[in-house]
Amino acid sequence: MLKLKRWNVLLTQFTNYIQTSTKNILLVIFCGVLLSGCFATSPTKKDYGPVAPKAKAAYQRAVLAMKSGQTKRALQLFNSISKKYPGFAGPQINIGLMYLKKNKLVKAEKAFKLAIKINRDNAVSYNLLGVVYRRAGKFNEAKEAYHQAISKDAQYANAHLNLGVLYDIYMDDLKRAVHHYEQYKQFSPSADKKVDKWIIDLKRRTKTTQTSTSKTKRGTQG
């Protein structure tokens, strides 16, 4: 039951992430930010040239289509922007998000990998690629992707949460799960209070396992 609750919170966190992302996405053209303030990009100088206003207008149309549920239209617009401004990873991240929301994992994976190719320092792309792998049952690949996200941004709270859930529910590594839940709490200004209960539960289970193991060892000594 506790694991199911953890999974439900993760779904809520992902939904909130998408909703927050669409509100801030227009910043990408002028201040080099992808999806929200903590997602840094590496645009070239030409990206700030005369074409920037047109890019911003195109982004606004794509975002409006995305927010209104016109997925096909949004995909067309983001793909068009990506072709015109290949130095920006933002369009591909949004494409991946839309495919991920519809559970089209192969297409989502392709988009996030392309975003990583454009900007290898973008932690968000690695984190979302990890979500794709986790949904596909590729847990080792998901672990690597989440660790890559954290290596790019050690204070990336959502990546720590995702990694904690992976260790907790799918890999049964309680100590590492606790560590990343605690990192999530440390770096998230609005950390879900349910995570506190998860940490208490895992620490209790870890202590119980250690006690049981210790008793077994004492009982087998000759």
pLDDT of residue 203: 92
**Does any domain span residue 208?**
no
Please report the pLDDT score of residue 57 as a whole number. Answer: 83
Q: Is residue 141 part of a domain?
A: yes
- The Cα 141–Cα 147 span in angstroms is 10
pLDDT reported for residue 123: 92
Within a domain: residue 42? yes
- Examine residue 187 and state whether it is found in any structural domain, yes or no: yes
Indicate whether 213 belongs to any domain.
no
Phi, psi of 88 (to 5 degrees): -100, 130
| Domain total in the chain | 1
Mean pLDDT by 10 residues, the chain (222 residues): 56 47 36 29 34 74 90 94 88 92 96 94 93 96 97 94 94 95 93 91 83 46 46
Whether 218 is covered by a domain: the verdict is: no
| 210 within some domain | no
pTM: 0.76
162 vs 147: CA distance, rounded Å: 10
On whether residue 53 sits in a domain, the answer given is yes
Domain containing 109 equals 2-203
Q: The CATH number of the domain where 87 resides is what?
A: 1.25.40.10
- Written as six digits, the tokens of 167 are 């260790």
Candidates 117, 143, 115, 111; CA nearest to 130 is 143
User: What is residue 48's predicted lDDT score, i.e. its pLDDT?
Assistant: 30
At 174, list the tokens.
């309680």
Instruction: Say what the pLDDT of residue 63 is.
Output: 86
